[in-house]
Structure 1
């Protein structure tokens, strides 16, 4: 953005901040456009290989997340005396907090 506009004394501090944000946004949009041009210039096989690798990493992260949640649930059931206090009956799909009715 033109530095003369930002140096004008009649701009309020808020207007100055807004113009600076627009300047940053314009720079980021230019970077994005350049990156998209680079990606468009690559072959579709190269892009596909990159996406396959990303899919594998995402799948691994999801599996690790599920494993962590399952481990936490088992730990809570073990600490709670086998699940009687910590949740619903095994396999019935209901969960209740301590002191609440099950099967609502």
Structure 2
């Protein structure tokens, strides 16, 4: 079959009116476009998107760094609170305006 986009395969068919020939030709072109789209989508879905994988790996590294810094900060805060609570000489939570 010749290229469907340039030549109407239904042209000259005595059983079809000119309008029917044009409508069938448009359907044939649409069918070809849908098949091309399906083939391209199949190609894209079969393999991983390399650019997306690279971006996700960078994001994963950054999130790991943020999580590590968050944990270090949190444990630093907990240690300072525990240290302050275990030191009997300093009462950081008491009101300093009251004399005993």
Taking structure 1 as the reference length, what is the TM-score of the superposition?
Answer: 0.38
Q: Which has more radius of gyration?
A: 2
Higher relative contact order (CA 8 A, sep 6+): 2
